[in-house]
Amino acid sequence: MRRLLVGLVLACAVWGQQVDFTKQEIETVKITDSLYVLMGGPAQGNVLASVGPDGIFLVDSMYAQMHDKLLAAIRKLSAAPIRYIVNTHLHGDHTAGNEAFAKLGAVVISHDNMRQRMLDAKVDGLPKQTYGSTLTLQFNGDEIYIYHPAPAHTDGDSIIFFKKANVMHVGDVPASLRYPNIGVAEGGTVDGMIAAGNQVMQIANAQTKIIPGHLGPVIGFDEIRQQLTMFAAIRERVMTSIREGKTLEQVVAAKITKDFDPGRLGGAITPDRFVTLVYTDLSRKK
């Protein structure tokens, strides 16, 4: 397990090194009078900022190399102190900025499993507050409901719902139209991703503004339904291939996602990589 975690950290570091951060700028999108999405490009996670009389509350923190630009974008919204950061999961494009914000006084919050995995991997920016199943905070006049789905993208995911504003940040569970990453080395599963997408639609409603972990900045149930349809189809195709005794190389070469590829090539996960992740998860279940 320790080796897998170290591999995760190294993989995030390598991907981060491939991004030319000097060319990445922050785009700020107003969602409500107090909520904003801060976007730094498809390679790093969307940050949701609540700005109000209680201070600033952030969901995720991007790569550490984006801290100065992210902070500058936040300061254009408010000079108030940054009180909290909630991480949707442990990957570096969502958490590597934690340490810099913690030095400014922010309290980092996560699910228990996420903190433990970061601790095992000796990653900086550890959460200072954790929860097990759900956590509710009152901040800036809203009730913020944070819950942990069953292992989906990872086994330490958090979904954050601003109830009064009717805005939900879902991290990297199936949302925007791209091929999602599945953290197969961090407890993520295909079946869990499907279950988490369905759960989002049960807790949210058709009017909820859903913030995905990447792209967007706002999607609705239509995109989630399309992603769940894709997941179910690719799951069945890969499982059939596994039962037929086909190797990973054969399944990847068959290009079984080609009917879903249009519109899903905007993210960091290629079709071949997505099929590899699905195969890796399903083959160990068999």
pLDDT tens for the chain, 286 residues long, are: 344 333 444 344 444 447 889 889 999 999 999 999 999 988 889 999 999 999 999 999 999 999 999 999 999 999 999 999 999 999 999 999 999 999 999 999 999 999 999 999 999 999 999 999 999 999 999 999 999 999 999 999 999 999 999 999 999 999 999 999 999 999 999 999 999 999 999 999 999 999 999 999 999 999 999 999 999 999 999 999 999 999 999 999 999 999 999 989 888 899 999 999 999 999 997 6
pLDDT tens per residue across span 232-255: 999 999 999 999 999 999 999 999
Residue 273: inside a domain, yes or no?
Answer: no
Q: Enumerate residues 6+ apart whose C-beta is below 8 A from 239.
A: 282, 286
**Distance of CA 131 to CAs 35, 91, 157, Å?**
24, 18, 11
Residue 263: inside a domain, yes or no?
Answer: no
Task: Domain of residue 161: give its range.
Answer: 2-229
Residue 94: inside a domain, yes or no?
Answer: yes
pTM summary value: 0.93
Question: What tokens does 132 get?
Answer: 């097990």
Task: Please tell me whether the peptide bond between 217 and the residue prior to it is cis, using omega within 30 degrees of 0.
Answer: yes
Residue 265: inside a domain, yes or no?
Answer: no
Residue 242: inside a domain, yes or no?
Answer: no
Number of domains in the chain: 1
Q: How many residues does the chain have?
A: 286
Residue 249: inside a domain, yes or no?
Answer: no
How much is the pLDDT for 153? 98
Residue 240: inside a domain, yes or no?
Answer: no
Put the strands of the sheet holding 35-39 in their side by side order: 27-30, 35-39, 47-52, 55-59, 82-86, 107-111, 129-131
- Looking up residue 78, the CATH number of its domain turns out to be 3.60.15.10
How much is the pLDDT for 285? 76
Residue 248: inside a domain, yes or no?
Answer: no
